[in-house]
A and B are shown apart, each in its own frame.
Chain A
């Protein structure tokens, strides 16, 4: 018998403009000990499923279902009694899930006191051992700590410990690692995998990341706009997806194991209107294989909701034409930065202690039309470096040359025109009170490029460049989707016809299908206009796809730098090796045994001097790593690694990625 059995679950939210049908006839079952992955883009209804199971939907939600059973009990009545006891939950953001004014130990103990009726001391003791089981060393110390004293990964372990306190049979995981760095994510995934095998906990894993789902789950449900479009064994579904949407998702995914691909396949269009769901296939408007018969209702047959699944199996997902490449990168340096250093936090009015060096003596060089990818975990100084090279942040020391001319701290208008920035968050990068026209016109008039009717034509040209219709000129940011806003952000940066763009996590906030379209756009712009990018991202897959060269940053310094293909293949800096090994890649279950795991995270404080990675390095050689600054070793053409390990040994490393 299934532990969890959902049949015909429908859910609608009442809004001022009518009912939104968030879920339509969703069915799934999880056997005891099984793990089900629930994937889909934002707005597909993934989180609604979790909330429905917990009975936490709130007011205005109307739920109907044929069956909503947990171990034979109807969740519609029993959810309140079961959640926290037999159903545990882990939400996305561990910082938000923990109460900042209670100790970790008490928060883990709370469900034991609440549900199991344990005495406070007994519960606290149990909490401590639970934290230990979650792989936390010095559990006693952590139990007495408050959330702000712990790193993100530690907090998420504590949250998982809380969820597991009453030994639930089912664990609901809602994007459990999305807020974490990739090396920490890998640790949490290991933990979850271990829990599954040792305790036989069943899991429902909600994620937008197909790689994670592939690692943890044996069944997969793909949700699109509130409907299940495909359901089946995980590995099989991901290797041979049948529904066009699943196929589209996989084709849109930049993958580190594929390196630089010519083209990603974006899924055109956006989510359908959930207020009036079509009776027919709701993916039809975006589907390249759509025919007239798609307008009729589609049943979920043999795990796929598409009447043409078998018919189109042989047809490839159409990949857009490659923009013609006019300009190729030239070795001539456009931007050259030397010894950039910037500290934060010191030197306030009442605070005279030295700050943290966010960027510590970094030098880098970017050629015309070249894309330098900058990867590293959060807090490593990537964004600070991006702002330093644009002179948006004052450097403590260091020199910047742009096109052969030295750029002083107060940059000239000419430099401002030629070096621009694209931001991560499309919601914050556009002024909510300016129309697209105003936003795009300002740089034109500011730099004296065009005015009046000429500027209007130029605005239209810019919109065309980012593939938006001219009618968007009069729109305000709130009238556009995330992907559209991001394009306006790019158009604004391009308005002054720059030669250099800093893309600070420019695609990280977007869904894969939209991300693919924006990445293609950026690739085209580089090829057609010869713009050089400093492409900052924590997503190595994205960087591998777009970058000519890659620089890997760790705690304020670049530890490895070289041509993209060289950085992604041995020899590696041990940190690069660990990063690559930690990336969850679809269809790479075989490499489980060769995984390299880092202990702790970036914030684990090391001493001064020596290699800054030494405290986490799995290949640490000994004292030399802690005391001496590592030498920079050169491999081939311009591939540099800062490490004490002898060159021959580095060169002999195996690949960190599955082939």
Chain B
């Protein structure tokens, strides 16, 4: 067996702790996240208010906790959406070649040529903002990248002799893609996915910052940063707390991605057995 890289362990533990905190948020939060307390407005961090309070006297720590699940859902949900749409598209493009491939890849090029935020704005502009829709928007933004990765991996694998052997048995396209290609394609796809989560979280927060995610008084890290802007000089902790949490999550997820790459990279596997 492969040894589990340390990066994967460290990153995994941090991501795990954040996930647990996000899940337990409502129970462990010291205050109600949206309870106003006009007597404790803009308090700096203290033993009572760990991350301070905002302009309405709400406890920032409780709000950060309550907002964590948004960021996590955004990151993982959007990535899963891009995976579910992108991978089959990419594999089909690699398998069919010719016009099918041209159509899929040029369509994907078209999507890439639209700036991600603009695409998100476009989707959210025509409908009511909400977590699920932000997730879908971010997911769609990353479909082209997943498609390309899946196609590249698929093309490599389709050149292998075991695929030719399957063709010599007269196997259909579905069997070849699902049984011969996919089991071998997932390691590079997982690595790509884990790195993609970071960007999805970031883009989700950016869209929230622009007011296209969850709506106030809901707490979401991007939204909290946006709301903290008027107070950035007098009460920097309001924006700093969610910002630093976002940072920590992004770094941890990225580290997990790198760990997974070390674990699954085919160039590091299969040596000496």
A478 near B164: Cβ-Cβ < 8 Å: no
Residues on the A chain within 8 Å of B171, using CB: 446
**Docked-complex contact B102 and A428, CB < 8 angstroms:** no
Which of chain A's residues has its CB closest to B167's CB? A392
Chain B residues with CB below 8 A from A16, complex form: 3, 272
Query: In residues 218-273 of chain B, which contact A (Cβ within 8 Å)?
Result: 270, 272-273
- Please tell me if the beta carbons of B102 and A349 are within 8 angstroms of each other in the complex: yes
Q: A432-B184, A479-B273 are in contact. Are A416 and B169 (CB under 8 A)?
A: yes
Contact of B161 among A411, A425, A446, A496 (CB under 8 A): A425
Given the contacts A15-B272, A478-B273, A479-B273, A431 and B169 also touching, CB distance less than 8 Å: no
Chain B residues with Cβ below 8 Å from A478 are: 270, 273
Smallest beta-carbon distance B103→chain A, Å: 12
Looking across the interface, which residue of chain B has its beta carbon closest to that of A447?
A: B169
The answer for the CA separation of A71 and B102 in the assembled complex, in Å, is 63
Pair A430/B169 contact, Cβ less than 8 Å: no
Q: What's the nearest-Cβ distance from chain B to residue A288, in Å?
A: 29
If over half of B's interface residues share one DSSP class (helix, strand or loop), that class is named, otherwise mixed; here it is helix
**B110 to chain A: which residues have CB within 8 Å?**
none
Q: Is A101 an interface residue (CB 8 A)?
A: no
A392/B168 in contact, CB under 8 A: yes
Tell me whether A433 and B168 are in contact (CB under 8 A): no
B126 interface hit (Cβ, 8 Å): no
Q: Looking across the interface, which residue of chain A has its beta carbon closest to that of B98?
A: A349
Tell me the chain A residues, 460-479 only, with Cβ under 8 Å from chain B: 478-479
Q: How many angstroms between the C-alpha atoms of A420 and B161 in the bound complex?
A: 13
- Chain B interface residue bracket vs A: 10 to 19
- The answer to whether A433 touches B161, judged by C-beta atoms less than 8 angstroms apart, is no
B252 to chain A, nearest CB (A): 27
Complex-state Cα separation, A413 to B172, whole angstroms: 11
Q: Is the CB of A492 within 8 A of B165?
A: yes
Q: Could you tell me the distance between the alpha carbons of A392 and B168 in the complex, rounded to whole angstroms?
A: 7
Rounded to whole Å, the gap between the CB of A410 and the closest CB of chain B is 9
Smallest CB separation, B272 vs chain A (Å): 6
Q: Which residues of B contact A430 (CB under 8 A)?
A: 162
Residues on the A chain within 8 Å of B128, using CB: none
Partner of A423, one of B3, B165, B169: B165
A558 interface residue per 8 A CB criterion: no
- How far is the CB of B185 from the nearest CB of chain A, in Å? 10
Identify the closest chain B residue to A480 (Cβ): B273
Least CB distance, B190 to chain A, in whole angstroms: 14
**Shortest Cβ distance from B163 into A: residue:** A431
Residues of B within 8 A of A496 (CB): 169
**Does A390 interact with chain B (Cβ within 8 Å)?**
yes
The closest CB in chain B to the CB of A429 belongs to B161
**Which residue of chain B is the closest to A431 with respect to CB atoms?**
B162
Shortest Cβ gap from A509 to chain B (Å): 11
Q: A425-B161, A430-B162, A431-B184 are in contact. List 18 more A-B contacts (CB 8 A).
A: A15-B272, A17-B272, A349-B102, A392-B167, A392-B168, A416-B168, A423-B161, A423-B164, A428-B160, A428-B161, A431-B180, A431-B183, A433-B184, A443-B169, A446-B169, A446-B171, A479-B273, A492-B165
B residues at A contact (CB < 8 Å): 3, 102, 160-162, 164-165, 167-171, 180, 183-184, 270, 272-273
Q: What are 17 of the A-B contact pairs (CB < 8 Å)?
A: A387-B164, A392-B168, A411-B170, A413-B170, A416-B168, A416-B170, A420-B168, A423-B164, A425-B161, A428-B160, A430-B162, A431-B162, A431-B180, A446-B169, A447-B169, A479-B273, A493-B168
